[in-house]
């Protein structure tokens, strides 16, 4: 019995290209079964430690498991043979995990011949084509394809169906501070928020705006406007005048208004400095102390 391969998406389809696949019985999978669709026992399949996706939503897995229970596996997973009785998962880990939740014994799978690099490439390309990945997962997948699979930007664009500029925008996310990358992974901020933060050179300013996004639920437009203000401030700073990071500049302005003084916070390029509040006499000192104690 033969079954035609279903459409899988541009990049993955090219990687999995082959003619028709033969149906095989899982109990009789032999050395010549590469290229077939086989019902493989789940306990013979190992997950790939290099799988780019590390986190799976349990509620969504349970929903998928319920669908599989009623409709079966619509699209087979993809594996490669690593020994006579063992297979390694290339793509379809959500289907694999969901099937285990409902205690399925076997799962239909394409058996592919692939080395370590080819297997990783297939897994990454399939992941990128998914709709439920967050921006950081996509960025990390692009980085893996370039670094670990030795794919240049032009070929990568062809495999995943994306423009070079789009891929670059994702890769730039990996230059953000770790705390912001975590926020992106956890969907606390969007790709639009992150792109606005990339334009800020100071890491302290980036983290300040990130915290403002979380605290005040800033829109992407508001973040872009705040980023422009910081860029404009930084543009007019000369080499002989070291400006304060934005969050300290804002505090400095607040303190100056509070105490009716000039610049209070002073800081050099290495982050060393002082907080100075001048006074003319004891009466003014007493007034300053009262204000400080009541802040």
Domains of the chain: 2-166 (3.90.1530.10), 176-235 (1.10.10.2830), 246-293 (no CATH)
The tens digit of pLDDT for each residue in 180-199 reads: 999 998 889 999 999 999 98
The tens digit of pLDDT for each residue in 197-211 reads: 998 888 888 998 999
* pLDDT for position 79: 92
* pLDDT for position 103: 93
Q: Is the pTM of this model over 0.75?
A: no
Q: State the catalytic residues.
A: 93
Nearest to 193 by CA among 209, 174, 182: 209
Q: In whole angstroms, what is the distance from residue 192 CA to residue 184 CA?
A: 10
Percent of the chain whose predicted confidence (pLDDT) is above 90: 28
Mean pLDDT of the chain: 78
Beta carbons of 214 and 222 less than 8 angstroms apart: no
Mean pLDDT score, 143-169: 85
């Amino acid at each position: 019995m033969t079954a035609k391969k279903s459409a899988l998406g541009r990049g993955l389809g090219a990687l999995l290209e082959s003619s028709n696949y033969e149906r095989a019985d899982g109990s009789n999978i032999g050395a010549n079964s590469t290229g077939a669709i086989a019902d493989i026992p789940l306990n013979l399949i190992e997950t790939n430690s290099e799988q780019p996706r590390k986190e799976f939503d349990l509620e969504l897995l349970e929903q998928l498991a319920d669908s599989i229970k009623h409709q079966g596996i619509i699209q087979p997973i993809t594996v490669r043979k690593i020994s006579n009785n063992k297979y390694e998962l290339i793509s379809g880990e959500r289907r694999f995990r969901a099937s285990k939740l409902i205690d399925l014994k076997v799962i239909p799978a394409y058996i592919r011949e692939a080395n370590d690099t080819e297997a990783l490439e297939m897994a990454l390309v399939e992941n990128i084509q998914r709709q439920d990945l967050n921006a950081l997962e996509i960025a990390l997948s692009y980085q893996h394809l370039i670094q670990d699979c030795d794919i240049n930007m032009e070929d990568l664009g062809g495999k995943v169906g994306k423009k070079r500029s789009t891929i670059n925008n994702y890769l730039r996310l990996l230059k953000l501070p770790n705390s912001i990358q975590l926020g992106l992974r956890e969907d606390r901020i969007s790709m639009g928020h992150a792109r606005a933060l990339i334009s800020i050179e100071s890491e302290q300013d980036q983290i300040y705006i990130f915290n403002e996004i979380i605290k005040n639920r800033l829109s992407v437009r508001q973040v872009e406007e705040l980023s422009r203000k910081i860029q404009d401030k930084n543009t007019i700073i000369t080499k002989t005048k070291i400006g304060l990071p934005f969050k300290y500049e804002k505090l400095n302005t607040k303190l100056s208004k509070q105490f009716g003084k000039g610049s209070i916070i002073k800081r050099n390029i290495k982050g060393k400095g002082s907080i100075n509040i001048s006074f003319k006499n004891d009466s003014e000192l007493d007034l300053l102390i009262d204000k400080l104690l009541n802040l």
